[in-house]
Amino acid sequence: MSSNKTLVLTNGHFYTGTKIGIESNSSPSTLIVKNGKIDYFGPSNSATLHQYSDIEEHDLKGRYVLPSFIDAHTHFLLLGQSLAKVQLGGCKDLSEIRLRIAEYVQQNPDKERVLCSGWMHSMTAGQAKASMLDDLTNKPIYIDSKDLHSCWCNTPALAEMGVQNMPDPAGGTIERDAEGKASGLLSEACVLLIVWPWLAQVLSVEEKMTSLRAGIKAYHENGVTGCIDMAMDDNSWDAILALRKAEGGRLPLRLAAHWCINPGNGEADRLKQVERAVELAAIYNASTSPDLRIVGIKIICDGVIDACTAALKEPYTTNVASPEPIWTPSMLDPVVKSACEAGLQCALHAIGDQAVHNAVNVLEAYGQPGQRHRIEHLELTAPEDAARLGKLGITASIQPVHADPAILRAWPALLGPERIKRAFAYQDFADHGATLAIGSDAPTAPHPPLKNLYVATTRRSARYPDAGDQPVNENFKLGIAEAVNAATHGAAYSCFAEHRLGTLEVGKEADFVVVEMDFQPEGLLSAKVSQTYFAGDKVFDAATGSEEVPKM
């Protein structure tokens, strides 16, 4: 769009927050953008329309217009990096994993390392040994688990990181053989404290900026113009700042971030990490840097159910004892207290019902009214804790892509028939008054929001829709308006951005997405993004098959 023209969108079905408007005397069918903001939103026959001149009019031909999506839980740099990794999603066994890696090695002889993603423990019967990879190449191989809670390495990767001489870090496990040597799998805090820092050290800023640009492009192609990063650290933050500088001081993506707090070497170390978040939030906040800001801290309280590392109130049905949380209540208390007193938002990763209980307790103890703290994932919750979320003003940050039945086939055996009835209890959270914010947890799961919403509203598989997997707890599915709201307004509200983003309203940023779809849950699976707009600029157009460069 030319900078001096007024954009007029007509003949569309516009989402108003609870429903889709249709052409009538009262429903909005025209949207006007001026100077990057929504200047008019209403019927097409209003006398107000005559005041506009030098317009650029677009006939939407009946397509749907929604507020652009905000990914409420993502790992931005990792998403961009994952797009260039060997994708192992869908592999059925070790032989298929080895085949994909071998093909990559042959096709990319100049690559110094082999970076992979999408591996699940079930693909290799729970085994992840360096010896299973060592004959493929003498280059280091790093395989991210789908949930990013583990990294499977070959011997050259272990050697270049110096893992053999390291003790287990707090909250992490270096799997070892009978002789005490690292055997290939690094879990939980090892990923945060060993693998990611090492890769950050050996990858250049230019490589990281390339990855970030790839992430922005992928988001635009799927109607996303904002995100909330849930594991920010100095490595990622420095790369994002470098990209913003390289792009003239503005990115075509609005980003809020939670600073990741690691278990560290004791309470003093953990509180020092909180101080770092406070320091950055004083510089990058809603007043000084509204589209790139530090809003709070992130704590990973437990692991994941598939690896039996999520903290449960009762043992796993497979007779595996539930582990202690990565963050015990005594560890959580001083850190959450410090963050709350500093005015930071707390985002607590809690998957198992014990971890959720602990998270709700600590936020109840130290959270202050209006701080909008949040719990991430909430995959297994007791009814009494689900009911407390709304009462305490805690945002339920959910990722329906993790509720896809195609990836939950091991859960009945792990949890048993009764406990699994409380899995992904989204509607229960909403019924008790909790704000829902939908994210993807990319790259642990696919980032496209429309398929994410399909799972949220049907509880059926978007990954393998023809595989015949039955919905898991269909009674907890969301209505389509609830789901769209959670991926737009709910996500904006969760990071104090609802006054600027998340709905189509006059005065708000002109961030919206044009979609070809049937506005029904079943229609979300085949829905396609036609165009994405950021601050009134078209940043993606499917008709041209390319991303458009916004004005800086």
- Is the confidence at residue 23, as pLDDT, over 50? no
> What is the residue-averaged pLDDT of the chain?
94
Q: How confident is the model over 111-133, as a mean pLDDT?
A: 94
| 448: preceding bond cis by omega (within 30 degrees) | no
Sign of the torsion formed by the C-alpha atoms of 339, 343, 347 and 348: positive
Q: How confident is the model over 111-119, as a mean pLDDT?
A: 94
For residue 186, give the H/E element and its range: strand 182-188
Do 119 and 152 form a contact (C-beta atoms < 8 A)? Answer: yes
Task: Tell me how many helices (H) and strands (E) the chain has.
Answer: 16, 24
Q: 112: pLDDT confidence band, cut at 50, 70 and 90?
A: very high
Do 238 and 540 form a contact (C-beta atoms < 8 A)? Answer: no
CA distance 353 to 282: 34
Token pair of 297 as six digits: 């801290």
Q: How confident is the model over 223-227, as a mean pLDDT?
A: 98
Question: Given this model, what pLDDT does residue 150 score?
Answer: 94
State pLDDT tens for residues 265-300.
999 999 999 999 999 999 999 999 999 999 999 999
Question: Given this model, what pLDDT does residue 245 score?
Answer: 97
Q: 551: pLDDT confidence band, cut at 50, 70 and 90?
A: very low
Amino acid at 17: G
Q: How confident is the model over 332-337, as a mean pLDDT?
A: 98
State pLDDT tens for residues 140-159.
999 999 888 899 999 999 99
- Is the confidence at residue 4, as pLDDT, over 80? no
Lowest mean pLDDT among 14-28, 65-79, 513-527: 14-28
The contacts of residue 43 (CB under 8 Å, 6+ apart) are 24, 25, 26, 27, 28, 29, 30
The contacts of residue 9 (CB under 8 Å, 6+ apart) are 30, 31, 32, 33, 57, 58, 60, 65
429 three-class SS: helix
Overall pTM surpassing 0.85 (yes/no): yes
Question: Given this model, what pLDDT does residue 549 score?
Answer: 54
Do 309 and 352 form a contact (C-beta atoms < 8 A)? Answer: no
Own/partner contacts of 92-95, CB < 8 Å, gap of 24 or more, are: 92/123, 93/123, 93/124, 94/123, 94/124, 94/132
Question: Given this model, what pLDDT does residue 18 score?
Answer: 61
Share of the chain above pLDDT 70, in %: 96
Q: How confident is the model over 194-216, as a mean pLDDT?
A: 92
- Is the confidence at residue 192, as pLDDT, over 90? no
Q: 26: pLDDT confidence band, cut at 50, 70 and 90?
A: low
DSSP annotation string for 435-482: PEEE---BTSS---HHHHHHHHHH---SSSTTS-PPPS-GGGPPPHHH
- Is the confidence at residue 2, as pLDDT, over 50? no
CA distances from 107 to 102, 103, 110, 150 (A): 9, 6, 9, 26
Q: Which residue has the tokens 């790992």?
A: 75
Listed residue (457, 421, 415) closest to 310, CA to CA: 415
Lowest mean pLDDT among 168-172, 373-377, 545-549: 545-549
Q: Give the CA dihedral 463, 466, 471, 474, nearest 10 degrees.
A: 90
Q: 1: pLDDT confidence band, cut at 50, 70 and 90?
A: very low
Do 392 and 363 form a contact (C-beta atoms < 8 A)? Answer: yes
Question: Given this model, what pLDDT does residue 24 score?
Answer: 40
Do 449 and 485 form a contact (C-beta atoms < 8 A)? Answer: no
Q: How confident is the model over 101-128, as a mean pLDDT?
A: 94
Please, where are the H alpha helices in 288-352? Answer: 329-341
Please, where are the H alpha helices in 342-448? Answer: 353-366, 383-391, 411-419, 426-431
CA distances from 433 to 370, 389, 405, 427 (A): 15, 8, 26, 10
Greater pLDDT, 171 or 1: 171
Amino acid at 375: I
- Is the confidence at residue 550, as pLDDT, over 60? no
CB atoms within 10 A of CB 265: 11
Question: Given this model, what pLDDT does residue 547 score?
Answer: 59
State pLDDT tens for residues 414-470.
999 999 999 999 999 999 999 999 999 998 889 999 999 999 999 999 999 999 999
Q: How confident is the model over 181-199, as a mean pLDDT?
A: 92
Question: Given this model, what pLDDT does residue 307 score?
Answer: 87
Q: Give the CA dihedral 211, 216, 217, 223, nearest 10 degrees.
A: 150
